Amino acid sequence: MSDTEHPAVIDAVVVGAGLAGLYQLYRLRERGARVRVLEAGDDVGGTWYWNRYPGARCDIESMAYSYSFSSELEQEWEWSERYAGQPELLRYIRHVADRFGLRRHITFGTSVTRAVYDSRTHTWTVTTDGGEEVTARFVVMATGCLSRASVPDLPGLDDYRGPVLHTGRWPHEEVDFTGRRVAVIGTGSSGIQAIPVIAGQAAEVTVFQRTPNFSFPARNRPIGRRESAERKANYAEFRAWLRATPVGIPRPLPERGALEVTAREREAAYQSAWDAGVLGGIQASFNDTLTNRQANDLAAEFVRAKIRQIVDDPETAAALCPTGFPLGTKRPCLDTDYYATFNLPHVRLVDLRRSPLVSLTERGVRTTGAEYEADAVVLATGFDAMTGALRAVDIRGRDGAALNEVWAAGPRNHLGLLTAGFPNLFTVTGPLSPSVLSNMLISIEQHVDWITDCIGHLGDHGLTEIDATVEAQDAWVRHVAELAAGTLYPEAASWYQGANIPGKPRVFMPYLGGVGAYREECDAVAAAGYRGFTLSRLPDAHPTA
Ligand code: NA7
């Protein structure tokens, strides 16, 4: 690793100190690169720093949703539960930062507002909200897919007198709902995790549901020492298997379609997935759930029957039954006692499809049917997913081109990694990569390894710039869209395709080819000398990284 041409120019700025940013920092430091990480929060953790709402929990098993880069770390860390809660995940991430001496390279409480590329020097100058400028050869956007909270433009939001809490921006001090009336707006993963826990504390909970979701029991439980030791004895094999699967989640790989088996076999398969408590388990019972509407309807009906079984009041059960979009095409949820919570006398469901939300008032929430008083309002209303955090930064590439303009009709890039005209600016788990349709840790490690190797390759060959070609980018954008078009995903108004944000272009953003195939493609591109990218060097430049 040699120095950049100017001592004030560092090798890389990494934006974000979540799981992606920390690993990127670790890998680049390992190569001796000079790196600054800029992080908006006051600590490491990313998603697990911000999402502190009651019940926040990962719905991929801890022993799969954790770093694999260090076998010492893997062996020494003991997870207490099958699905770790937010406090434990944050402890783990802080431990990683300390164990690998990463903190001294991180500036906290600092947001990046602007990044400008200089084609003459092949460097980016990044500006922070504190007015600082940092110049680096490479920028890695490790800003997360679900990091920009979406607060809907609800009339009367300012009139409401009580606290309004967004699940994705939860306060750091304890929020005590004891004896209070709580209104929860939103029934995605966050709401579905939070509602049973809030109901365990509050005097009254009113849930405002616009779209019911498919949710499955998580079957969370403590991990015993023996179970942990068994997994750790074969950790490398387990990780290798996960990396080759479609989504990197430990669950069986279906070989048959739902219509190729008898009704009894089908029921048994769904029941076994329901009992296993694995994210996406029901849809993964058969290989055609997300491509064949009839197969999907069978799986969806199985879940609706479960909801009707669990929920005592038939009207509430009917309102909780998801209809109108295929199972799995909106992010499925894992829960602990979600549906049963509606049997509690102090919990009620307000179906916004029947009586739409009109406004917040001084005292609570008004729908077309009634006004519901509340001492606190919880917004579990989600995120400007996948592109929100990237578009929040004013990114200017070659010739001053604005990323926001280039992406006006939806994200464009090659392999989800680099956008043509924005050289040396990488995104980790960005749009058009498997990202949110995968175990994030698998995708993060794969991206960071690829990016680090790419930066190393440039340095080893005296090169200072990598840019995607427009042809390769166009082909990749087309490929991602074609994969989505062959499935039922486009039938749902999901955040996967930006439908939750008014005015956002409807483009299906995650790559659906699976993490195994995706890794192979990325590796093949690198092995072919970064096919689809243009590599160049500045005359007289000292190579970096
Ligand atoms: P989601 O999954 O986007 O869920 C947001 C929920 O909020 C969803 O039920 C929305 O209904 C509802 N919502 C959003 N805006 C409104 C308004 N204006 N009125 C009523 N209801 C509204 O976000 P989460 O935080 O739960 O989960 C995000 C991901 O984090 C999750 O998938 C995991 O990957 C982790 P809608 O469906 O739009 O009708």
In this predicted model, what pLDDT tens digit does every residue of 303-334 receive, in sequence order? 999 999 999 999 999 999 999 999 999 999 99
Coil vs helix vs strand at 475: helix
Bridge-partner residues for 414, per DSSP?
418
CB of residue 47 inside a 6 A radius of ligand 1:
no
Residue 406 sits in a domain whose CATH number is 3.50.50.60
Percent of the chain at pLDDT exceeding 70:
98
Say which amino acid occupies 173.
Answer: E
pLDDT at residue 252, rounded to an integer: 85
DSSP-assigned letters across all residues of 300-345: HHHHHHHHHHH-SSHHHHHHHS--SS-TTSS--EEESSHHHHTTST
Residue 169 has pLDDT above 80, yes or no: yes
Let me know if residue 263 belongs to a domain: no
Does pLDDT of 172 surpass 80?
Answer: yes
CB 398 within 8 A of CB 117: yes
**Mean pLDDT lowest among 216-220, 247-251, 379-383, 447-451:** 247-251
Integer Cα distance of 447 and 526 in angstroms = 12
Q: Are 544 and 3 in contact (CB under 8 A)?
A: yes
Residue 543 has pLDDT above 60, yes or no: no
Burial letters 31-61, b for 16+ CB under 10 A, else e: eebbbbbbbbbebbbbbbbbbbbbbbbbbbb
Give tens-digit pLDDT for 379-433. 999 999 999 999 999 999 999 999 999 999 999 999 999 999 999 999 999 999 9
In a domain, 406, yes or no: yes
Is 426 within the bounds of a domain?
yes
Residue-wise pLDDT for 262-310, tens only, equals: 999 999 999 999 999 999 999 999 999 999 999 999 999 999 999 999 9
Q: Which protein residue has the closest C-alpha to ligand 1 atom 25? A: 382
CA of 369 to the centre of ligand 1 (A): 22
Q: What percent of the chain has pLDDT over 90?
A: 96
The confidence score (pLDDT) of residue 143 equals 98
In contact, 442 and 527? CB cutoff 8 Å: no
- Per DSSP, the three-state class of 162 is coil
Return d(Cα 389, Cα 490) in angstroms, integer: 23
Q: What is the pLDDT of residues 62-80, one digit of tens each?
A: 999 999 999 999 999 999 9
Residue 544 has pLDDT above 70, yes or no: no
Distance CA 58, CA 48 (A): 9
Question: Ligand 1 within 6 A of 185 CB?
Answer: yes
What's the confidence (pLDDT) of residue 539?
78
Residue 11 lies in a domain: yes
The model's confidence at residue 1, banded by pLDDT at 50, 70 and 90, is: very low
Q: Which residue has the CA at smallest separation from atom 17 of ligand 1?
A: 152
pLDDT at 545 over 90: no
pLDDT of residue 3 exceeding 50? no
pLDDT band at 542 (very low <50, low <70, confident <90, very high): low
Answer whether residue 60 is part of any domain: no
CA of 381 to the centre of ligand 1 (A): 4
Among 52, 279, 331, 360, say which to mutate for ligand 1: greatest number of ligand atoms within 8 Å of CB: 331
pLDDT of residue 526: 98
User: pLDDT at position 408, please?
Assistant: 98
What's the pLDDT band for 369 if we cut at 50, 70, 90? very high
Residue 80 lies in a domain: no
Q: Does some domain include residue 26?
A: yes
Residue 382 CB less than 6 A away from ligand 1: yes
Instruction: Report the number of distinct structural domains present in the chain.
Output: 1
* Spatial contact of 35 and 25, defined as CB atoms under 8 Å apart: yes
Number of Cα atoms under 13 Å in the Cβ half of residue 253? 8
How many angstroms is it from 194 CA to the middle of ligand 1? 13
DSSP letter, residue 127: E
Mean pLDDT of 369-385: 98
Is 434 inside any structural domain? yes
For 149-167, the pLDDT digits (tens) are: 999 999 999 999 999 999 9
Work out which ligand 1 atom sits closest to the CA atom of 186.
Answer: 7
* Residue 518 lies in domain: 3-44+102-148+385-460+514-530
The tokens describing 542, both together, are 């000292």
Residues with Cβ within 8 Å of 503's Cβ and at least 6 positions away in sequence, in order, are none
From the number of C-beta atoms within 10 Å of its C-beta (0-12, 13-18, 19+), residue 370 rates as: exposed
